[in-house]
Structure 1
Amino acid sequence: MTQLLLIRHAVNDFVKTGKLAGWTPGVHLNEEGQAQAAALGERLASVKLSHIYASPLERTMETAQAIVEHHPHLEVEQHLGIGEVRYGDWEGKKIADLRSRKMWQVVQEYPSRAYFPGGEAMRDVQSRVVNALESIVDKHPGQTVALVFHADLIKMAVAHYLGVHLDNFQRIVISPASITTIMLGHSRPYVATVNDTAHVQAMKKQKEQAKNGENRN
């Protein structure tokens, strides 16, 4: 049985612009994101990984590289199949403006019928990511593989393997630098963990304790 670790990239500052990032180049991890990625790398240091795949964007590659720091025998392999949603004409637009469009409500309430003008349909994105995961499983049977990519795609994959309709995929929470574990063999899939952020929470606690210690001095 192949174990897939579906990992969302750590945080970045682009969200502060209020725009839809998509495939916008030059979106890097910020200081907090770098700390999250470092905690993630330490969390996975003792895991026997056979391969590390990542979406080709900077924020995903940087997160994946933090894992490689503890697995120097591996290299990050880019995989377009787990790349971000192609938002087409919406990419780089202000989310506040997009909310007024009719398709925005379809994306939120009926995503199986939603599509992005000049980009992908949501149902095609789900098929793309599931096909990518299945191809990786076929390529690495019985191994543990880390994949670093994006929240919506991880949600779609989890929904698929849980047997949840795409229209309900937004009910699943996938946080930055989280780990979701799916196990795939010859029969039924197993979703072992969803949105595991214990390493991020531990990092925050350590920072708070250090800060409180400084305040007492």
Structure 2
Amino acid sequence: MSKVYFVRHALPDFNVHDDLVRPLTEDGVKSTYKVTDFLQDKKITKAYCSPYKRSLDTILDFTNKNCLEVLIIDDLRERKISNSWIEDFHTFARNQWEDFNFKLSEGESLKEVQNRNVQALHSILEKHPEENIVIGTHGTALGTIINYYDKSFDYNSFLRIIDLMPFIVCMEFEGISLVSLEEFVL
């Protein structure tokens, strides 16, 4: 069995609209130490992350203290909404969760996000059977992964976790088949 600890990033600075470089707030940085404390006894042997700064910075304290190299996987990134900032995020998110193929011009659908995230996850699981892994991720990306295994994870489920930062989900796998899922709010 493999265990994957998905760590949704800590609180980012929403004043920075560039997804790639959006940093954590001061409170977000402080909460990364809670992530380290939580993961410390989980016998994690591999670390992967989205290329986005906020996700990497959320697991960096843990990986540094445990001498783990973080492998950046572009396909683990959050979904692209469009080339401009969306003011009414909740309406947009509801439209996407109600229709997994809905997307804005130059953006991604949740189906596209799910496909690339799950493909990346399966590749990681195949490379590291029987290991404990941490993956730095995002709310929507993680939500689509959960939905892949549990179709009852929907827009209301997404709303339940939307403000949980950081948020950890531990999934246990036999091969690429999900065996169990447990959530942790820090």
TM-score bucket of the superposed structures, by smaller chain = 0.7 to 0.9
Distance across 2 between alignment mates of 1:120 and 1:58: 20
What is the alpha-carbon distance in structure 2 between the residues aligned to residue 127 and residue 133 of structure 1?
Answer: 10
User: What residue is the counterpart of 1:214 in the other structure?
Assistant: none
Letter in 2 for 1:35: K
The alignment's TM-score, normalised by the length of structure 2, stands at: 0.87
Return 5+ residue gaps in structure 2 as ranges.
none
- Which residue in the other structure is 1:106 paired with? 95
Gap change, CA 1:99 and 1:141, over 3 Å in 2: closer
- Measure the CA separation in 2 of the matches of 1:150 and 1:187: 21
The separation in 2 between residues aligned to 1:55 and 1:38, in whole angstroms, is 19
Map 1:10-89; keep pairs closer than 5 Å.
10-14=10-14, 17=15, 21=17, 24-72=19-67, 74-89=68-83
Q: Select the structure of larger CA radius of gyration.
A: 1
Structure 1: stretches of 5+ with no match in the other structure: 201-217
Shift in alpha-carbon separation, 1:31–1:9, aligned structure 2, 3 A:
same
The equivalent residue for 2:178 is 189
Report the residue type matching 1:129 in the other structure.
Answer: N
Q: 1:87 to 1:191 in 2, by over 3 A?
A: same
**Identical-residue share of aligned pairs (%):** 20
For 1:26 and 1:133, how far apart are their aligned partners in 2? 23
* Kept after mapping to 1: 8 A contact 2:171/2:180: yes
Show CA shifts across 1:9-56 (max 9, x none). Answer: 000221xx4x8x4x5343111111011111111111122111111111
Count matched residues: 183
1:106 Cα offset (Å): 2.2
In the aligned structure 1, how far is the partner of 2:94 from the partner of 2:177? 34
Q: Alpha carbon RMSD of aligned pairs, Å?
A: 2.3
| Counterparts of residues 151-166 of structure 1 (less than 5 Å) | 151-162=139-150, 164=151
Between the aligned partners of 1:140 and 1:117, the Cα distance in structure 2 is 37
- Secondary structure at 1:89's aligned position in 2? coil
Query: In structure 1, what is the Cα distance between the partners aligned to 2:143 and 2:124?
Result: 18
SS in 2 for 1:128: helix
Aligned with 1:11: secondary structure? Answer: coil
